[in-house]
Amino acid sequence: MSISIKTGKNASDSKRGFLKLLFLSVMAASFGGVVYPIIRYLSPVSQQQAAEKIEILKDELPPGKAKFFTYKGNPAVVIHTKSGFTALSAVCTHLGCIVKWLEDKNELQCPCHAGRFDAAGRVISGPPPNPLPQIAVTESGVKIVIG
């Protein structure tokens, strides 16, 4: 036998050390075997990567109207303005509430602290520190493609 794991001064100590190591490894493996599935089970639902481009029919969105959808797991809005279609993140840059579209005022308003944004996402008034991030929009035939 030429196994030499030296953790102690003599043979019996090294045998004990080895067994201890073995025991702890088995314990660690068992612990991991229990904890790993639990962490995987509880981890957030993976955001849909496949639907990175979202298509909306132009007919669904007459001028002045807005449509909300989920883009990369977060709420977003596309607005039919006078100058065309604008897609924005619908998450307020202040504290993360979801903005709503006020058609008569032609602006987006956050219900939490009354932050106001124009149809291009620029801050009009209220506490939001930054404009709403823009999302690319392209028109193709009867559809608009977002993303």
| Interface residue list for another protein (CB under 8 A) | 37-38, 40-43
The residue among 36 and 53 lying less far from another protein, judged by its C-beta, is 36
Closest distance to another protein from the beta carbon of 43 (Å): 7
Asked whether the CA dihedral 56, 58, 59, 65 is positive or negative, the reply is positive
- Torsions phi, psi for 113 (to 5 deg): -130, 25
Strands (E), the chain: 54-57, 66-71, 74-81, 84-89, 100-102, 107-109, 116-118, 123-125, 134-135, 137-140, 143-146
The residue among 11 and 42 lying less far from another protein, judged by its C-beta, is 42
Closest distance to another protein from the beta carbon of 70 (Å): 18
The residue among 12 and 83 lying less far from another protein, judged by its C-beta, is 12
**Coil, helix or strand at residue 13:** helix
Q: Write out the two tokens for 105.
A: 């005022």
The residue among 20 and 65 lying less far from another protein, judged by its C-beta, is 20
Closest distance to another protein from the beta carbon of 45 (Å): 8
Closest distance to another protein from the beta carbon of 6 (Å): 15
